[in-house]
Structure 1
Amino acid sequence: MVKKTVVYTENAPKPIGPYSQAIAVHNPDRLIFVSGQIPIDPETGEIVKGDIREQARQAIDNLVEVLEAAGATVDDVVKVTVYLSDMNDYAEFNEIYEEYFGHSKPARAVVEVSKLPKGVKVEIEAIAAL
């Protein structure tokens, strides 16, 4: 596992969710850039219908599967970008996100976008370092 350090300063705002102000990565052998994952059920190829919680769980499960296929885990993730179609879903999304990333707290950005592929509520991408 690559050595990573959580960066924290009192001179910037404290994180308001399950993420770090920054992550410093020391001499990684490999970086993995995971494309945006949306809530598609890999068995059926269909969009998971339901609320943000159900869609978030499927999108993150898909992300985890891609990480594992590359030989990584959520503990190796150093940066996440989340796209929400409605920022009012932020708190509920965060609850699901924390189940997966709450212990590792990679650096993260969450942005609201006007539209996502296939009309989904969430898309999530990540960078992992090994």
Structure 2
Amino acid sequence: MTEKIAITPKTHTAPPAKFSHGVRKGNILQVAGQVGFLPAEEGRPPTPAGPTLREQTLQTLANVRAVLEEGGASWDDAMMIRVYLTDVDHFAEMNEVYDAYFEQQGLTRPPAARTTVYVGLPAGLLVEIDALAVLN
């Protein structure tokens, strides 16, 4: 049986509870919900990339990518992406930022499947994203 391996990039702080930023088992990599915190720095508490949806979405995508890469995957391996927004009015703007991000990444394969839902997040956080990847 394949071993389950916890994935934590150097850019991430320890999770605030008993969970992993990502878990890989065999060729499956599940990235836990990531938010738009800036990369970890000694002595600085987790800090959002900024107050805007654009800033937080871009940083959140960067944080998901960091977990994917640490686990040996890339966006091309992503099969499912889930987006959690705190405000239904942010849907169109998030889609614009999301589409532009993946266009800049130069992804030519079919995009991952995606679900978007509306949730409550801690104060100041506007978006959370997770991903499921299958590696070759």
Above 0.5 in TM-score? yes
Q: TM-score, normalising length from structure 1?
A: 0.71
Measure, in 1, the Cα distance between the counterparts of 2:89 and 2:115: 15
Q: Residue 98 of structure 2 aligns with which residue?
A: 97
| Structure number with higher relative contact order (C-alpha < 8 Å, ≥ 6 residues apart) | 1
Q: TM-score, normalising length from structure 2?
A: 0.68
Residue from 23, 30, 35 that aligns with 2:32: 35
Cα deviation code 1:85-126 (max 9, x no counterpart) = 00111111111211344544111100111x113430000000
Aligned residues of 1:74 and 1:100 also touching (Cα < 8 A)? no
Unaligned 5+ segments in structure 1 are 1-28
Q: What is the CA-CA distance between 1:63 and the residue it aligns to?
A: 0.4
Q: Which runs of 4+ in 1 moved over 2 A?
A: 99-104
What CA RMSD, in Å, does the superposition of the two structures yield over aligned residues? Answer: 1.6
Q: Residue 129 of structure 1 aligns with which residue?
A: 134
Q: 1:101 to 1:78 in 2, by over 3 A?
A: farther
Measure, in 2, the Cα distance between the counterparts of 1:31 and 1:118: 32
Unaligned 5+ segments in structure 2 are 1-25
Query: Which AA in structure 1 matches 2:128?
Result: E
Q: Residue 58 of structure 1 aligns with which residue?
A: 59
Q: Kindly, what percent of the aligned residue pairs are identical?
A: 40
Alignment length (residue pairs): 101
